[in-house]
Chains A and B, each alone.
Chain A
Amino acid sequence: MTKNTPTMLDCGKTIEELSAYLAADRTPPDVDIDICPECRSALDGLDQVARLSRDLIAHDASLLPDPPESWITTIITNIAQEVRAGRSLPLYHENPRVTVSITEGAVRALVRSVGDDIDGVVIGRCRIDGDAETLDAPVEVTITASILWGSSAQELSDVLRTRVHAALRQHTDLQVTAVNIVIDDLHGFNSDREVTP
């Protein structure tokens, strides 16, 4: 595995190591992980994926298959890529001796947590387009998501867009001109089952 392997974070920890740490209930404590913000955000994401996986299985075990491994793997790979600190997004401060900012990774993790709190939504990827390193520059946020089979794509997209916009307005100084939602997958769907109208 190389530094560029998608499942390796910038700090050198791998998603596999973090998954094992999570599975062991974070014992014994690993200082390297516990004081690394990227590792902590990745653990949050992995924890959410594990919960989702359990929920889907418990949802209707007799009708639905286990979540496909490839789907889970894609989400985990996205988490590994997006928790990286990335760009430094400036915040306002009147004193020229002060520099305040928020990392792009923290913003993406925030978006993921907002989305994952909505029933039926699983965030895939989050991208911030535009000159986000310049205050007042317009930026667009694009989020891909999977929604639960049978739910309304329009309704969930609207809720997701509204909540993400509100969170970005609350926590950042980004000038967000658009939050684009792309529903690119469905989950909780049994492709082997006969669908009746």
Chain B
Amino acid sequence: MSTPPDSRHLTAQVLTIPGVSEIFPPSPPIIQLSAAAAGMLTRGTIRADLVEVKETPSGARMTAKIAATADQPARETARRVADALLAATDDGTTVTVQIVRIR
């Protein structure tokens, strides 16, 4: 079985994609609490583990909720993020990218 993609690495990678300004937690309450407790979330810093990676019987499932900058088409930004996540994974992985903010 292949190694599951590393969430922190993916998060850092997504944040370098043109048009992406931020990543938000896919599951706010739980991740907020756990991440805040771990001291990982501070204002103005890159947040860890925001690309959610879940292993399922049919393969990995990745989810990213992102804020897009308004100076580039958000729909293209979403597709670029999806393509980057796909490229970082094995066949069978499913990818979900949602734009939750455009500024």
Contact = CB atoms under 8 A, between A and B. Distances in A.
Interface of A: 11, 29, 31-32, 34-37, 40-41, 44, 85, 88, 91-93, 95, 97-103, 105-106, 109-110, 113, 170-173
B101 interface: yes
B28 A92 contact: no
Interface in B1-33: 24-25, 28, 32
B94 A98 contact: yes
A103 B32 CA distance: 20
A37 B100 contact: yes
Tell me what chain A mostly uses at the interface: helix, strand, loop, or mixed: mixed
Contact of A99 (B47, B74, B96, B103): B96
B54 interface: no
A92 B101 contact: no
Nearest to A105: B100
Contacts, number: 103
16 contacts: A35-B24, A35-B47, A37-B100, A91-B75, A95-B82, A97-B95, A101-B97, A102-B100, A103-B99, A110-B70, A113-B103, A171-B73, A171-B74, A171-B75, A172-B74, A173-B75
Given A93-B79, A97-B86, A102-B78, A35 B25 contact: yes
A57 B21 CA distance: 34
B65 A37 contact: yes
**Those 7 A-B pairs whose CB atoms lie nearest each other, nearest first:** A37-B100, A171-B74, A102-B99, A29-B43, A100-B78, A99-B96, A98-B82
Contacts of A95: 82, 86, 95
B46 interface: no
Contact of B28 (A11, A97, A103, A109): A11
Nearest to A96: B94
